Structure 1
Amino acid sequence: MDYPKSVPSVGLVNSRFVDENPVAGTPGSLIPAVWGNSVTEELLAVITAAGMTPSENVNDQLLAALKTLLNLASPMSSRVTEVSTSKALMPEELGLVLISASATETTITLPAASSLSGVRDVVVRRTDNSVNRLVVQASGNDRIKFHTHLSPNGYPFLVLMGAGDWWHLRSDGASNWWPVGRFDATPLGRIVLETTTAFSPGGYGALNGREFLRSEWPWLWDHAVQSGMLRAEVDRAGGWSSGDGIKTFRAPEVRGEFVRVLDEQRGVDTARAAGTWQTGTNITGDNGAAPAVQGIANIATVGADPTTFTGLCYYVSATMTENLGSTYWGMTRPRNIAYPGRLKLI
C-alpha cells in the first residue's frame, strides 16, 4: 500500500496529497478509484482477519480488529474463558480456561496446533473437585508432548484431577502441544504418604490395586510395561499386573503393608524382585541366637500394659517377658503409624 505515485495526473506534491488553492489557481490532488479501492480493501482485510463482518454503520471496527489480532499474536492471550460442558475451544478462547466437570464427565478439545494458528499458549485449570473425569484432548492427530520418556510422541490427551489442578501448554505450530508448567510435577508412578484421607489435586489416586482401562490411562500402562514390575494378575503382589491381558491393567496393592527397600545386589535381602511380597519370618537376632517360638499364638498377652510400654516386647513363653540380653528372644510388630498411601497417576 502506498500513495498513487505511478499516476502523474493525480497531482501529488512531494509525493503527498494537497488541497486545491483557489488564490494561487492550483488544483487539488485527485484520488483515483483504484487507489481508493485498494485502501478500502487493506482496511477490510484487517477487519475480516479478526473474524468480524464489515459494517458501514460501525466506526470502531478497525480498532476492535487490531485489538483482537494483537491479542492473538501474543502466545498467551489475556482472555479468561469459563467452561462447564464438553466443547472444542476456538483459537480466540485460549488464555486461561477455567473448567468445571461438576455436572458430568467433560472433554475439552484444543484448537489445531497448525502453522496457521502459530505459537499459542493456554492454561487449562480445573475448578471442581468432583469424581467426574475431565479430559483435555488434542485436535485430530495432534499430540500433547508429556511423559515423552515413555512415548516419544506423547499422548493425544491428558486428565485434570482435583480442584486447582492445571497445565500450561504451548503449541509449536507443527501438530504438538508442549507442557510449559503444571500444578504438580511429581514423577509418574511415585508412591507418597499423605496426612489427609482426601485426595490432593495434581494427579493422585489410592494405592489400592485399582483396575484401570489401558485406553483411558495409556501413559500409566506404558509406565507399568516399562517398570520391570509387571506380572500376571495372579502373581502381581505389590507390583503391576497385566489385568485381563487385553483392555485392563492393575496398580500395585500396598494397603496395610510395610515397605522394604529393594536389595538391588547388596546381598542383605537376596533373591527378591521388585514388588514381590514376603511373609513375616522369625529370624536370628543380632546376638546370633534363634528366637524362641513358644506361645506365639498368645503373644498379645505378653509384656506390660501397651499404653505404658516404651520398647520392644521380648518373650520365651506366653506368660513371661525377657530383657534384651536374653539368649532366646523374638520380636513383635513395632509401634507404627498408618498414613494413607497415594500413587501418582499422571
Structure 2
Amino acid sequence: MDYPKSVPSVGLVNGKFVDENPVTGQVGSLISSQWGNAVTDELLNVIRAGGKEPAEAEHDQLLAAIKAIVRDSIPPEKIRSTLAEYGITDAYTKSVTYTKAEIEALLKNMSALPVGAMVPFPKGTVPAGFLEVDGSVQSAATYPDLAAYLGTTFNTGGEGAGNFRLPESRGEFLRGWDHGRGVDAGRALSSWQPDELRSHKHALDANVVTETGAGYAGGIATDGNKYLTETAFSGGMETRPRNLAVMWCVKAWNAPTNQGNIDVAALAVDVRNAQKNAVVGICKGLKVSASGLSSIVNVVAEQLVVGNDLSFKTLGDVTLKINATAIGANGLDTGVLTGSTWYSVWVIWGGAGVAGLLSLSEKAPVLPVGYTHKARVSWTRTDPTANKFLLSFIQAGNCVQYKVVPGSNVQNLPVMASGVVSPAADVAVSAFVPPTAAKISLTAGTNNGYVGFAPSSGYTAQAPVYLNTATLNAAPFVGGYNPSSPVPTANGQFLLEGPTIRFGSFAATGVLQCIGWEDNL
C-alpha cells in the first residue's frame, strides 16, 4: 500500500496529501475513490483476519484485531528439557556419566558443613546430625560417614571391633595446627598439649624481706648457699584468657540415610502431628442441600478445614455445585451413578483449586488430578427412578432433614414402616439415614390406636406396658394413642444403637416416618 503517486490529479505535494491554503493559493489534494476504497479494504482485511466483524460505529477493532493476530502467531509453550532449547549454549556440559554411588557421594558433600566439622554451640543440647566431642566411643555402623573420616585417629585401645573414639574437647581450648609455621613446632595434628608458662623472671624490690630463722644467719644460709627470696602467691589454678564456655560438637552424618539413633517411622509421625494441628472437617456456616428435582447438590461454607495425612488447609467462602451425572471435580469420583444409593459429599482442594466430589466411600474418595486435601461434609441419596435425582434435603452444620417439596421426589417424609406391627419389630435404617449417622429423627402416628418407637429391641416389654398389644415399652421414648382423628403425631430423636430401630403399631393406620438425622462428621 502507498500514496496514490501515479494519479497526477490527486494533487500530492512531496508525495503526501496537503490541505487547501487560500493565502498561498495552494489547492487541496484529492482522494480518488479507487485509492480510498483500497485503503479501507486493506484495513478491513486486517480486522477480519483478527476474528472481528467490521462495524462502522466501533473504532477499536483494528487494534483488537492486531493483538489477536499477534497472540495467535506465538507458538504454544512447550516443555523444554535442555538449556539449548532455551537458547543457552555457553554453559557447562558434562562429559561423563555418573554412577549411583558417585551421585550419592556427591550428595553427601552438598551440606553446608561436611562430616567431621566441629562447631561450638551455646547450649547443652546436641543438634540433630551432631555428636558432642566428649571422647566417647561410637559405632562405625551407626555413624559410617564420621567413622570413615576420623578413622582410628583418637582410639586409645579397648574401643572394640567396629567402634571408633571421638576426640575430647570438654574443658579444652582449641589451637590452630602449626603446620610448618614454626610457632608451635613439633606438634602432630590432633595431639594434646598441657598448660605451660613461658620462661620469665620477676624484678624484686630492694626492701624485700628475706628468709630468716633456723639455718639462716643474717639472711645467709649457714650451709654456704645463697639465701632465698620469694614473692607471695597470687592467681588461680590455671593460666587462661577470658573465655566463653561452649559445647563443641562434630557433624556426624550428611547422607540421606538413617544414621544415628533415629526412628524414621516415629519421626514421620511426629512431623505429621506437628503439621496437622487442626481437625479435618471442622466448619463454620456449613449448609448443604438438594432440591429433589435434579442431580445437583449445593455446598456452602464460611470456613472449612480440609486435609490429608501430612497437612491441612483452611478454606474460606466455599460455594459449590456438584453434579452427580458428571465425573471428576464437581462430580462423581468414579463409576456410574446408580439409583437408591448413598453418596458421600466432599469438598476437595489442591493446586487445581477448590471443588466438590461425590463418592461411594465414606473415608477414601478417589481424588482427581490436582487435588490433595479433602473433607467429608454430607451425604446424599439417589431416588429409585430412571432419573436417579438426589432426594430433597437441607443441612445446617451436621443436622440434616428431608425437605418436603411438592412435585419433587420427597413429597412426604419417607415411610419406614406402616400398618399393624404387633408385636413390635425391628426396622432397618440404612435406606433412610447414611452409614455415618449418629442420631435419627422420627415421627409416628395413627388415627386410632397405639403407636411407638424406641432405639432397639431392648425396649420391648416382657409384658404389655403402655402400648398394650404392640408390646413396646417406649418409656422414656415416644409413644402415642388417640381413639379418633385427627391423626396424632409423636416425634423423637435418639442415638442410633445399631442398624435397626424398634417400632410397634396397634392400628392399620399406624405409620413410622424419618424426619432426618445428625451426621457424625
Is TM (by shorter chain) over 0.5? Answer: no
Structure showing the higher strand proportion among its residues = 2
Q: Name the larger-Rg structure.
A: 2
Under a length normalisation based on structure 2, what TM-score does the superposition of the two structures give? 0.19
Q: TM-score w.r.t. structure 1 length? A: 0.26
Higher RCO (Cα < 8 Å, 6 or more apart)? 1
